[in-house]
Chains A and B, each alone.
Chain A
Amino acid sequence: MLANTPAPPLLEVRDLCVSFTSRGQVIPIVENISFSIGDREILGLVGESGSGKSITAMALMGLIDAPGVHVTGSARFRGRDLLALPDRQLRALRGREVAMIFQDPMTAFTPVYTIGWQIDEQLRVHQRLSRRQARARTVELLGEMGVPDPANTANRYPHQLSGGLRQRAMIAMALSCNPSLLIADEPTTALDVTVQAQILELMRNLRTTYGSSVLLITHDMGVVAETCDSTLVLYSGRVAETGTTRDLFAHPQHPYTAALLASIPPMSGPRPDRLPAIPGGPPQPMERPVGCAFAPRCAHTHATCLPAPPPRFCTVGPGHTVACVLPAEGAPLPPRSGSSTSPVL
């Protein structure tokens, strides 16, 4: 996180809340999430399934239109609040300034059009280009994303391509209008490991080649360590901990972060018989505890964790904050044993 830059960050999200009303009951999905992304920064949004990662991304893109869903807070992107923008203006921004790639490249393309047609379409919606110019740009983009034989691949249908190629095409489409922010919702989850590494490499290079910032949503701590400058850990719709990836991996201050990191298989040293796992499962949004949401599964739970409101944020280092009572009570978690200072796995 470039904390010393005086200019406002590219995207600054404040108190984002998403809730929906079901049978007269308001169910909070995401509560008071705040974060910011600077220019050319890669921010990792980590959490278990159901922790509200994707909902956060969808809310930022204005893609939630289910009845009864309520989004509050602000998300200032280059001085404009994405959450308050009228539909038409948001649409002009979507795809051009803020682009999104999705988890499953198998289903994310319309099956009846060629890959090239779909990339052309996005180009031509946002830029004054002829069919021919758009296609030339499409082929160029596909080539840059490492798609072999881009001119022919552009004429193929989604089902004719492998998962990796489809995700490359997806990224090419997202980048077609040179967006300054790319939201990637689990871009590698549906891919096998070698392809995953290639796609992450591609994403890392985006900031130098395209000058884009990336909001990378994932549940994989390994992906975060490899890719992100800073990390935001979500638990049950609330921010658990946020900081630079380096600090967070070296000195996790939230027991949840620590437990997540402990569950990564070690690359060196003796192999444990069983990986440590977090007992239990995350609470349903309706049954979320009034105090710390992680308390029922935490090894450090004590009386101060339980009553409402949830623990306040406590700054433990530059840009490193944690929603846990332990540091404030003078009992911070020890640094990770055996962790190197650099978050390389």
Chain B
Amino acid sequence: MIMPLLRRLGQTVFVLFGISALVFTVFFATPGADPTARIAGRNAAPQTMEKVRKEYGFDRPLPVQYAIMMKKLFITRDLASYANRGELVVPEIMRAAPVTLSLVTGAAIIWVVLSIAMGVIAAAFKDSWIDRGLMILGLVGISIPVFWLGQVVNLITQNRYHDTWLFSWVPGLGYVPFSQSPSGWFLALVIPWCVLAVMFVGIYSRILRADLVAIMGEDFIRTARAKGLSPTRVLLRHGLRTALITFVSLFGMDFAQLVGGGALLTEVVFGLPGVGRLTYQALNSLDLPLIMATVMYSAVFVVLANALVDAAYLFLDPRVRDVG
């Protein structure tokens, strides 16, 4: 029990080190990214430049700078932004995290429910017009860029038709914390949830359908039918249950990368102050501490999700349980 956990921890540390070192070196190798000039301001006097360089430790060798930054990020947690002086990045991320989590969780519920329904129905009516219709719908969902869809939805609900009865309930862009007003939270997020879910519904329902169709040709499905089970039971208890193994592992990874900041476009379009938008701002202002913090945050989630997916695998697939 201890060994696998330790191994996982070792992997996590290794992955985090790799990514942070990469981000760090790429940053300092980027032309025009010299933080001294940015912090000191335009046309700063050489003395000021020198002073800033000393204060921030930019005169020290890169490995030392890297070590200091990691220490400030993970141990003392007082890493400050270069762009907004004195702004600590760790609390900034902690403030953004619940927004992203709210957005992604809601969208995930929508896309899981819808894609399972669509995938199962399409597989049950394989090759009929229902199947074709649903799969074309899925393809449309995949092809629509999320930022475009978000903008169009905003245009309609915030602008053109905001005063009609249909959309008058839509609140202005932005986020309302759940603790402040649960209904406000829901209203502010329901449109972003749907917009973010559209593409995933498309992808997941198509994958699930393909998986189910393949599984329905397996020997054990023939056995289940020979047992005298109803077609619904064969499809759900035997087919869907087996197909869920792939579905869940995919879901784990997608969910994690979204929580880690992958919902950036949706957050920017809907003005939600989440981790994705923070990443976007950090990249815009080339603010290394904030970039580093958001990237690390995202990496932690991906690694964590990997572990959870593995655990879910053990739960869902008895064949994996006995290996190793």
Contacts and interface: CB of A to CB of B under 8 A. Distances in A.
B226 A100 contact: yes
Contacts of A126: 228
Contacts of B222: 63, 102, 108
Interface string B305-324: 00000000000111100100
A141 B91 CA distance: 63
**Most chain A CB inside 10 Å of its own CB: which residue of B219, B242, B245, B319:** B219
Contacts of B242: 110-112
B71 interface: no
Nearest to B238: A110
Given A102-B222, A108-B219, A108-B220, A159 B319 contact: yes
Interface string B234-258: 0001100110010000000000000
B230 A91 contact: yes
Nearest to A97: B228
B101 interface: no
A232 interface: no
Nearest to B244: A112
A100 B226 CA distance: 6
B304 interface: no
B77 interface: no
Given A61-B226, A112-B318, A67 B127 contact: yes
Contacts of A173: 227
A133 interface: no
Nearest to A111: B319
B227 A110 contact: no
Nearest to B233: A125
Contacts of B218: 107
A63 B219 contact: no
B225 interface: yes
B223 interface: yes
B322 A121 contact: no
Given A67-B127, A102-B222, A111 B227 contact: no
Nearest to B215: A110
A266 B225 CA distance: 41
B224 interface: yes
A63 B127 contact: no
Contacts of B229: 91, 95, 121-122, 125
Contacts of A125: 227-229, 233
B226 A109 contact: no
B228 A109 contact: no
**Most chain A CB inside 10 Å of its own CB: which residue of B220, B233, B237, B242:** B220
Contact of A109 (B127, B223, B316, B317): B223
A91 B228 contact: yes
Nearest to A61: B226
Contact of A112 (B223, B224, B241): B241
A93 interface: yes
A94 B318 CA distance: 28
A92 B227 CA distance: 9
Contacts of A111: 220, 242, 317-319
Contact of B219 (A61, A92, A102, A114): A102
Contacts of A94: 225-228
A108 B318 contact: no
Contact of B220 (A61, A100, A107, A157): A107
Interface string A62-106: 010001000000000000000000000001111110011010100
Given A107-B219, A108-B223, A109-B220, A95 B317 contact: no
Contacts of A96: 228
A304 interface: no
Contact of A95 (B227, B241, B316, B318): B227
A100 B233 CA distance: 19
A159 B322 contact: yes
Nearest to A96: B228
Interface in A165-194: 170, 173
Contacts of A104: 219
Interface in B197-233: 218-220, 222-230, 233
**Most chain B CB inside 10 Å of its own CB: which residue of A102, A110, A113, A157:** A110
A99 B238 CA distance: 19
B317 A93 contact: no
B226 A95 contact: yes
A198 interface: no
A25 B148 CA distance: 50
Contacts of A113: 241
A102 B227 CA distance: 12
B97 to A, nearest CB: 35
A159 B318 contact: yes
Nearest to A93: B228
B281 to A, nearest CB: 45
Given A67-B127, A160-B322, A112 B228 contact: no
Given A110-B224, A125-B233, 10 more contacts: A61-B226, A63-B226, A95-B227, A104-B219, A107-B219, A109-B223, A111-B220, A112-B318, A122-B228, A159-B319
8 contacts: A91-B228, A99-B226, A100-B226, A107-B219, A111-B220, A112-B318, A170-B223, A173-B227
Interface of A: 61, 63, 67, 91-96, 99-100, 102, 104, 107-114, 121-122, 125-126, 157, 159-160, 170, 173
- 8 closest cross-chain pairs (CB), A and B: A95-B228, A94-B228, A107-B219, A157-B318, A95-B227, A100-B226, A122-B227, A110-B220
